[in-house]
Structure 1
């Protein structure tokens, strides 16, 4: 794990600056104490990072669970909710033991790419108000960080109206533009000039410049107010620091609602993690394959620990993982170190963290979002044809319109399944037809023929002209669905009326007697 430390250390710094506001924002959007988001980020980095088999995946509080967490805390109370988190972690351990990690492989590549693109667009849209310093409310400071809760289009229209009316902060906009300039200069020019520019990452320089800008313009016309800065809880003593931890209420262990919430957390967190694992492996330049069952065990362990000390549920997070990849992270050390950075920072330098402009963090996330949602991705998916384009867009559009990660994935998967069924119906691979001379037609059935195919087979058989000759080859067919058997039996009777001669070719030889066809098919379906 230490052989790539010179790359993992700078990457961990970038992930830290991306993770810090995400931890706070997701906690606020979930109706939980801000400190609970930091706990989840620390556990996700150190514990899950150490146990996971992923080299570049980074875990933390789950944006896709924000709505579920908010409802659960409102209904159960926070300490009872923490017990549900612990139960969810135990259930995830059971999922891993039962080897259910394979579920993630059943999602089409077009849906995975749609999820990545949708998240990239959401990230960009959510940064606008903070890049321009438009939102002055405490809750608004972190609203953009929640991926699956607020209506993005409504928020975007408000942002556009604010831009048109000139309701922006000159100071925030200025430092945001400077930060983007630093990031682009660093990644496109300076990183290729020397090792020092690879060791010291652009986002770190942008953050330092942002802090210097805030301190030097404090109280001036181009200065920033407190609502345009990061806000980390600042304890005034060791006791107040320890007082930020909460512990689950095990007295409600028999409460059915707690168990239902725990199972829901386990199911949704596992699904979100497996999809992120699939997506992260696609982004990994080294194409490592993450062991999914081990990932479920790691996530379950992390959720148990997080719940026991007052943290939010944890999943692998594509925003942090992609930032890790884009920053050159190669092993799990970058995830682990970023967890230690979170821990050390909230203990030693919370006041310094609270001087980081949100516009700088928005600039960092602008770059991350653009790399996930490049225009070239849309062009590439469109060039692959409608079978890839439709599931891709069916995933992207609901996510962008509603901000709901799971809704987009669900609709994209549904469209993907519909495309598969449609192509089966259209006879793309299960039926081969050759028209020869003198009305001779050859049809070859595939290895498995199911009820999905009966519409197309019926259409082809009914289109055969009278007085023709059909050679039906089932040599390679291992399974015939009963629906197909019924179609073939009916066709045998129709063929006699239309003077269509049939020859059946199978592994057992050739059958030309119509009375023997039905017996052959019955044997086929029984086998």
Structure 2
């Protein structure tokens, strides 16, 4: 760290803080937890994970992609304190995966399944946040009445975030340093402050951060894990789910970050998993949310000119200061505007452009993509990813088998090309191709790309050779 790098890192850290603040608050609120939990998670990600991470630019903290897992896990386990135990176990598992150098296996996860996971997360986020944006009371049945004030605040917030991405506003250079979500949150706070005379007190649900007057008051807000819940088998299943999905999202963020900013040497995925594991272990112990490296905040960090980890550490310090000393200001933020921020995030994850891009790649990519989305929506995260992997395996196997054998014709000459090693699974297609060869033909086999031919395939070829003479078929370079 030098004065020249600080000149770039300080502005970058401030901008990352401005982006992270509404997301930390909104993700905690969407998870059904106090906003303080989101700030605490952001501080742990910004300060602790950054110290152990090998990346100079990756920003860690609570991720919108894990909201649906957290809410479902708390419903299954029955309490947040039980979830914290699962998070501690997930952190240990991530550390073990890092020690076992499992990070290199990220390349085995197909892009269609990864994209399907992100789209499903976006859709679940949208479904979850629409009632909050409309001001619908939670836990009520029929006869729900939309709050016009909440709906207007959310709608204008969405409009602001959309306008921030349009070319006219992008051409204003200084506006690029002001995040759209922050402007939307400021709009929501101003609408509440100046609308208090028209709206009865409490008409709009708002952020509720406690005021910390002492260290004891701060410690009193921390939720401790339920150590007795180790007997619950669901704790371990959720721990595995959190570890795998958080690691997957972290490593995907690292891969995406490589395209934005090269680092020499490149960050080790195994060291990054260990850093995330330490962060999640501490977050579970102190009462925070799951932590991942987040590509949105990381890309903002790079695009605003960060040169070292100092920008990320500064963003963590600013989150801590904001939570400790500016709770009154944050309590003016309505939940509807935070819901709008998450709705916009969900839309970006599941935008129609992503569906169209997957469609253009062909059915072998689109089917696993849709299967992953549907599986996660209907069966849950881990089962949905498993179904998507199975669909991709079947589609890839079919396409591979379909292209493994080719039959070409030149007058009465036929060439059977083996494009890869052949197993018994290729027998049905080989049988159909050989059946297309008419009598009185000359047939040659091109097997330059096949180093191995299964005995069952050889048996089928031998059978064809035995009948060739009776059909006046001449064989050339036929496998023995």
- Residue 194 of structure 2 corresponds to which residue in structure 1? 216
- Residue 27 of structure 2 corresponds to which residue in structure 1? 22
Asked if residue 436 in structure 1 is aligned to residue 415 in structure 2, the reply is: no
Quote the Cα distance in structure 1 between the aligned partners of 2:118 and 2:254. Answer: 9
- Residue 442 of structure 2 corresponds to which residue in structure 1? 469
Quote the Cα distance in structure 1 between the aligned partners of 2:261 and 2:385. Answer: 23
- Residue 47 of structure 2 corresponds to which residue in structure 1? 46
Q: Is the 8 A contact 1:270 1:315 kept in 2?
A: no
Q: What is the CA-CA distance between 1:13 and the residue it aligns to?
A: 1.0
Helix, strand or coil for the counterpart of 1:441? strand
- Residue 522 of structure 1 corresponds to which residue in structure 2? none
Helix, strand or coil for the counterpart of 1:43? helix
Unpaired stretches in structure 1, ≥5 consecutive residues: 141-154, 506-510, 512-516, 518-527
5 Å-filtered alignment, 1:188-337, equals 188=166, 189-195=168-174, 197-221=175-199, 225=202, 228-235=205-212, 237-246=214-223, 261-262=235-236, 265-266=239-240, 268-275=242-249, 277-278=251-252, 281-282=255-256, 286=260, 291-316=268-293, 321-322=295-296, 325=299, 328=303, 335-337=312-314
- Residue 119 of structure 2 corresponds to which residue in structure 1? 117
Q: What is the CA-CA distance between 1:417 and the residue it aligns to?
A: 1.6
- Residue 357 of structure 1 corresponds to which residue in structure 2? 334
Quote the Cα distance in structure 2 between the aligned partners of 1:298 and 1:126. Answer: 30
TM-score, with normalisation over the residues of structure 2? Answer: 0.82
Helix, strand or coil for the counterpart of 1:242? helix
Helix, strand or coil for the counterpart of 1:229? coil
Spell out, residue by residue over 1:259-295, the C-alpha distance to the aligned partner (whole angstroms, 9 max, x if none): x845751454234432453267448761657642222
Q: 1:224 to 1:363 in 2, by over 3 A?
A: farther
Asked if residue 375 in structure 1 is aligned to residue 360 in structure 2, the reply is: no
Q: Is the 8 A contact 2:36 2:323 kept in 1?
A: no
Spell out, residue by residue over 1:138-157, the C-alpha distance to the aligned partner (whole angstroms, 9 max, x if none): x79xxxxxxxxxxxxxx9xx
5 Å-filtered alignment, 1:516-527, equals 517=480
5 Å-filtered alignment, 1:442-461, equals 442-461=415-434
CA RMSD of aligned residues (A): 3.7
Q: 1:84 to 1:127 in 2, by over 3 A?
A: closer
Unpaired stretches in structure 2, ≥5 consecutive residues: none
Spell out, residue by residue over 1:68-118, the C-alpha distance to the aligned partner (whole angstroms, 9 max, x if none): 7437754xx876765554343233222112211123212222222233333
Q: 1:110 to 1:168 in 2, by over 3 A?
A: same
TM-score, with normalisation over the residues of structure 1? Answer: 0.75
Q: Is the 8 A contact 1:122 1:403 kept in 2?
A: no
Q: Is the 8 A contact 2:113 2:372 kept in 1?
A: yes
- Residue 96 of structure 1 corresponds to which residue in structure 2? 98
Q: What is the CA-CA distance between 1:131 and the residue it aligns to?
A: 2.3
Q: Is the 8 A contact 2:423 2:453 kept in 1?
A: yes
Q: What is the CA-CA distance between 1:420 and the residue it aligns to?
A: 0.9
Q: Is the 8 A contact 1:120 1:371 kept in 2?
A: yes
Quote the Cα distance in structure 1 between the aligned partners of 2:395 and 2:383. Answer: 18
Q: 1:122 to 1:73 in 2, by over 3 A?
A: closer
Quote the Cα distance in structure 1 between the aligned partners of 2:237 and 2:120. Answer: 27
Q: What is the CA-CA distance between 1:257 and the residue it aligns to?
A: 5.5
Q: Is the 8 A contact 1:91 1:263 kept in 2?
A: no
- Residue 514 of structure 1 corresponds to which residue in structure 2? none
Asked if residue 13 in structure 1 is aligned to residue 18 in structure 2, the reply is: yes
Moved more, 15-24 or 287-296: 287-296
Quote the Cα distance in structure 1 between the aligned partners of 2:313 and 2:425. Answer: 49
Quote the Cα distance in structure 2 between the aligned partners of 1:104 and 1:391. Answer: 17
Quote the Cα distance in structure 1 between the aligned partners of 2:226 and 2:159. Answer: 49
Quote the Cα distance in structure 1 between the aligned partners of 2:28 and 2:352. Answer: 29
Q: Is the 8 A contact 1:89 1:300 kept in 2?
A: yes
- Residue 148 of structure 2 corresponds to which residue in structure 1? 170
Q: 1:324 to 1:500 in 2, by over 3 A?
A: same
Q: What is the CA-CA distance between 1:22 and the residue it aligns to?
A: 0.8
Q: What is the CA-CA distance between 1:458 and the residue it aligns to?
A: 2.4
Quote the Cα distance in structure 1 between the aligned partners of 2:245 and 2:129. Answer: 27
